[in-house]
Amino acid sequence: MNTVDFFKKIFQKKAGSNFKKEIRNILGFKPVNLSLYKTALTHRSVREGADENNERLEYLGDAILSALIADYLFKRYPYKEEGFLTEMRSKMVNRQQLNDIAIRMGLKKVTLYNKMDGSLKTSQIFGNTLEALVGAIYLDHGYRKTSKWVMECIVLPHMFMDDLEVLEINHKNKLYGWANKNGRQLEFETLNEKLENGRRLFTVAATIDGQYIAEGKAFNKKDASQIAAQLAVEKLGIINADSIVDESENGRTGQPS
């Protein structure tokens, strides 16, 4: 072994040790199969292979997390109808919610992604990473351990049920309700569609009476339009369908960025 290989091996060992410590701090327990967690924290922008990035684990974790939340809600609300339970689950596992939780948990610091890609910084990849992490824990430790971790590390410290019960997460519905009540024409227009690291990135604008209000970007039109609606609701100060918008202050016109 030459000098270069010797130091390379030392640095790799140190990096592996640091990762093991970081992931243990996040999990609160010792991982067995460390490679699962490395994959869970690797975005496709830096690893394109299906067995190298976290998309397969995200798929698995999404299903497991949804099942765990459904079970939790079923037991917490024994007299609530199916519609209420479905809406509450959507509030708990929607992309923005999971992304915010992931960042608070410190996943942004340990996720491996292309930091030069500006669109990724404003997307919700860390919520996807959290789902992938759930998938990794399931494969590494099984369903019971995963259920315990989800409750203790996601639901109880980050999801406040009383607040979620009254939270409005469908900003498009809120905006449509306000527009219909006030005789306004609300439309969502796709401004741009381009490839970012092999995925289609959509830019969708919310317009009222033909005037640009706000825009959102995401890797599907549904999420992009929801982001645009949320920004429009915030910009116009809409609380409900009866809200009166001060157009002189908020302004209805604008230009796409």
Measured between alpha carbons, how far is 134 from 235 in angstroms, rounded to an integer? 35
Burial status of residue 152 (CB atoms within 10 A of its CB: 0-12, 13-18, 19 or more): exposed
Distance between start and end Cα atoms, the chain = 55
The CA distance from 203 to 194, in Å, is 9
Taking alpha carbons only, the member of 257, 252, 254, 250 closest to residue 203 is 257
CA–CA separation, 23 and 38 (whole Å) = 9
Asked if 202 and 217 count as a contact pair (C-beta separation under 8 A), the reply is: yes
Packing angle of the helix pair 143-150, 125-141 (nearest 10 deg) = 140
The H-assigned helical ranges of the chain are 3-27, 34-40, 55-76, 82-93, 95-105, 107-110, 118-121, 125-141, 143-150, 156-158, 161-165, 171-181, 221-236, 247-250
Q: Which residues are catalytic?
A: 62, 131
